[in-house]
Amino acid sequence: MNIDLHTHAKLSKKVDFSLAYFQDMAKVAVERGLDAIAITEHFNTKNFGDVYRTLDEHYTYNGHYYEIEGLKAFPGMEVDIAEIGHILCIGDLGHIRALREALNNHETKGQFIPFAALLQLFKIYPDMLVIGAHPFRESTPLIDLDPTLLGQLDAIDLNGKDLYSRGIKQNCADLETLSKQINKPVVAGSDTHHYMQYGVVYNAFHTTCETVAQLKQQIADQAFTIHIDENLPQLVAEAVRLKDIAKNDMVLSQSGK
């Protein structure tokens, strides 16, 4: 099973959720060889709840994932922490909604939840998959945080955007070092907001997973390999260019101009 563990359902945080846009994204993901994704939209994106409310109106959630255009879509979100950094969480839809509700007073800079407090919340949902997002990104680094807290994650993120901006060799080397320091595996996520970025990096699991608990076990067992597309730099660069154009068009459209 090929799965991307860091994807976005919206073009940007500032625009409304568009089902048509997301459906187009899902179709391309399948064309690029993906069997599954985790929807890790930013928890403080505009109208976060609309994402899953809209999916519920048009697709069946089977207790573990939605099947959208032939793609398994596991629910999740990306959470900012007070120390500056992003944490991905993937799990049962009800648990994702409950966790989002618990973060209602932690949505803006200066109010983000401390990392240790977020980890305590995760303990309420032991089957939730928790990943440290882009740990070496300059704007949201995780590398200076307490290693004992980082060691409570399930994995760390080999991120498509960072493979482009920091270089594949450097980023892979840094992730390998951090992985050994905290004894946690590295998993892949494209961090895509635009269909062009699907498939630049993904996890090839040895078996098909039907639940997040199975995903967690496969990751813990390191029963997967990571695939990096040889054209990643060109694909990400084009995705960024097209995203900026589409974002401007969508903002104008949704503002009524």
Each residue's pLDDT expressed in tens, for the chain with a length of 257 residues: 999 999 999 999 989 999 999 999 999 999 999 999 999 999 999 999 999 999 999 999 999 999 999 999 999 999 999 999 999 999 999 999 999 999 999 999 999 999 999 999 999 999 999 999 999 999 999 999 999 999 999 999 999 999 999 999 999 999 999 999 999 999 999 999 999 999 999 999 999 999 999 999 999 999 999 999 999 999 999 999 888 888 776 655 665 55
Token match 């967690």: residue? 216
| Residue ranges of domains in the chain | 2-254
Cα–Cα distance measured from residue 208 to residue 218, given in angstroms and rounded to the nearest whole number: 10
Q: Which residues, including other chains, have CB under 8 Å from residue 94's CB and lie 6 or more apart?
A: none
Partners of 223 in the β-ladder: none
pLDDT of residue 171: 96
Angle between helices 48-58 and 93-102 (to 10 degrees): 160
Output the pTM of the full model.
0.95
- CA geometry: angle 197, 253, 53, nearest 5 deg: 65
For residue 36, what are the CA distances in angstroms to 120, 123, 151? 28, 25, 26
**Residue 82 burial by CB count (10 A; 0-12/13-18/19+): exposed, middle or buried?**
middle
Consecutive H or E run containing 201: strand 201-205
Q: Is CATH 3.20.20.140 the classification given to domain 2-254?
A: yes
For every residue of 203-255, DSSP letters joined together read: EEESS--SSHHHHHHHHHTT-EEEEE-TTHHHHHHHHHHHHHHHHHHHHHHHT
Pair type for strands 71-80 and 86-90: antiparallel
Q: How far apart are CA 157 and CA 187, in angstroms?
A: 5
